[in-house]
Amino acid sequence: MGLSLWLVPNPTHLQLIQRVLPKQPETRSVSAASYPEITPHITLASSGKATQDTILRSLPSILRPIPVKFQKLEVGDHYFRSVFISVKKTTELVALHEHIMAALDRDGASPSAPAFPHMSISYIADEDGHAERNKAADELRGVTVIEDSETDDADTVGLRCGDSEEGGVRLSGFEGTEVWIVRCEGPVQHWQVLEKIAVTPGVA
């Protein structure tokens, strides 16, 4: 896959989301490649041709915090989009994405960002099939994901990220406060974070 540029939640939101991501099920057998530990993120761009310096050059001179709003829980037909939450195309998020894609394109990096914008919840191997991906989504709906009917906004979903003793934390999105450059080669557990770039403090 090469290098990817990720928009990552602020530390508090990152921790809350990570605690509810599905793990390998204990009640059924699945591929060892299914349900790896992942970092919640939105892929802004990926390239098999870009270098780390090329990626850095593609970023705006000032990075601002990016508000992210969850839209819908979906089941996909690709390993990296097995179960994911589609994200609303806000002005800020689209502008950042388009800036990066245009800069990488000018550098001949042939960037891509399939199904932008989305946040993957689970990677599930093809050999486990669509049925396993649907099971994972159904389990999320039963425990973690708050569907449209339970919210005031018919165009959003939320995540239950805390129990009642913790105040019943619910997230309908996150604040993106870091951009990571990640080398995505080989199994997910071998991916390497090369650099973390923080947004400019105090700029909204």
Estimate the share of the chain in helix, then strand, then coil, as percent rounded to the nearest 5: 30, 30, 40
Extract the tokens encoding 52.
């780390």
What pLDDT is stored for residue 154 in this prediction? 57
**Domain-embedded: residue 174:** yes
pLDDT of residue 204: 44
Determine how many CB atoms are found less than 10 A away from the CB of residue 60: 13
Q: Is 129 helix (H, G, I), strand (E, B) or coil?
A: helix
Q: Does residue 108 sit within a domain?
A: yes
Give the domain range for residue 116.
2-198
Does any domain span residue 127? yes
Q: What is the pLDDT of residue 164?
A: 46
Q: Is residue 194 part of a domain?
A: yes
- The model's pLDDT over 130-171, given as tens digits with 9 standing for 90+, comes to 999 999 999 999 889 987 554 455 578 999 986 545 456 889
Q: How many domains does the chain have?
A: 1
| 78 domain-assigned | yes
* CA separation for the pair 154, 173 (Å, rounded): 15
Residue 67 resides in a domain: yes
| Residue in the structure block whose two tokens are 């946040």 | 119
- What are the 10-residue block averages of pLDDT along the chain, 204 residues in total? 94 92 90 95 97 96 93 95 96 96 96 96 95 94 77 73 65 95 95 93 53
Residue 203 lies in a domain: no
Q: How far apart are the C-alpha atoms of 19 and 97, rounded to whole Å? A: 27
Tokens describing residue 154 = 């018919």
Instruction: Residue 118: give its domain's CATH number.
Output: 3.90.1140.10
Q: Quick check: is 204 in a domain?
A: no
Residue with tokens 């059924």: 28
Cβ neighbour number for residue 46 with a 10 Å cutoff: 23
**What per-residue confidence (pLDDT) applies to 148?**
59
Report the alpha-carbon angle 89-91-104, nearest 5.
Answer: 85
